[in-house]
A = this chain, B = another copy of it.
């Protein structure tokens, strides 16, 4: 979409300096900016290269407002945030034409709201409910009874089992599997063989959640797995049955949560973290990449960073690594 510095400024509730009629057609990084592009800077030292680039205009913080700009400047309290919003304003995403592709297979009892777009080869089961403006990518399979809110984007080749209830503005990336059976068995003591423990609970996903490509989230065994509003989940993440993930939690790629874990709000989990069953990660904890938490453990401390397996406050863990390095560096044989 083509717009102007003035219109973009208004859309992100910022002021601007310079010519408001300069045309903007997209966003880019400073290095690959082309004519018509909007770029952003967060500090003084990036401002000069931004102004020297081929970009049409620059979003910057108040620090830039004193200069006499070579290009129009959009002045925002949070330049990165304003840039993200400007990008969405300029490129609101592919316009998915509402309607059901003729190759899609939609059960007659499914209730599709106005503005829903169902791509080719999608399969939608009995009693499914889909809110207005939601887009379902090709090849996705949605089982009986699933409900999906409004303005969601469910990409291609996703599978959603029965028992999932999904909020508004949720994004599910390709290949993700939602509400699959949890991993729970009962071993028969006489034969040693395992039989499945019932995996018949539900999965509830709040508004504004994003779920990465090929991630898997199991439904509850008897109760519910819940993912709070605003949770962001990267690719190839696993979340087991009965987990409770609080609001605004961030989970990086390939992290795995076994069953019945509580992650309180605003927790940040790095990549490849592993957490044992029934553990509890309290509000605001940060856990570094590859960290491991044993079953039933509790990590606590607003803003406290943990690392290692078993996870410890990062300062203590670094001390241990340092001691070990020093010990191993002693010349000759270590005699203790």
Interface residues of A (CB under 8 A from B): 27-29, 31-32, 78, 80-81, 83-85, 87-88, 91, 94, 101, 103, 105, 119-121, 123, 137-139, 141, 143-144, 155-159, 161-162, 171, 173-175, 177, 180-181, 183, 185-189, 192-198, 200, 208, 210, 212-214, 216, 218, 221-223, 230, 232, 234-236, 238, 240, 248, 250, 252-254, 256, 258, 266, 271-272, 274, 276, 289-290, 292, 309-310, 316, 319-330, 334, 336
Q: Beyond A78-B186, A105-B101, A272-B274, is A193–B156 a contact (Cβ under 8 Å)?
A: no
Question: What are 26 A-B contacts defined by CB distance under 8 Å?
Answer: A32-B223, A78-B186, A81-B186, A83-B186, A87-B200, A88-B195, A94-B162, A120-B123, A121-B121, A123-B138, A139-B157, A157-B175, A159-B213, A177-B235, A183-B252, A185-B232, A193-B248, A196-B210, A216-B253, A218-B235, A254-B256, A271-B276, A274-B289, A290-B309, A316-B328, A323-B334
- Contact: A186 with B274, CB < 8 Å? no
Protomer copies: 3
Q: Beyond A186-B80, A223-B29, A324-B323, is A256–B253 a contact (Cβ under 8 Å)?
A: yes
- Chain B's closest residue to A294 (CB) is B289
- Chain B's closest residue to A137 (CB) is B141
- Contact: B193 with A174, CB < 8 Å? no
The secondary-structure label for the interface of chain A is loop
- Contact: B174 with A161, CB < 8 Å? yes
A316 / chain B contacts, CB cutoff of 8 Å:
325, 328
- Contact: B155 with A139, CB < 8 Å? no
Whole-angstrom distance between the alpha carbons of A158 and B156 in the complex? 9
- Chain B's closest residue to A198 (CB) is B87
A328 / chain B contacts, CB cutoff of 8 Å:
316, 319-320, 322-323
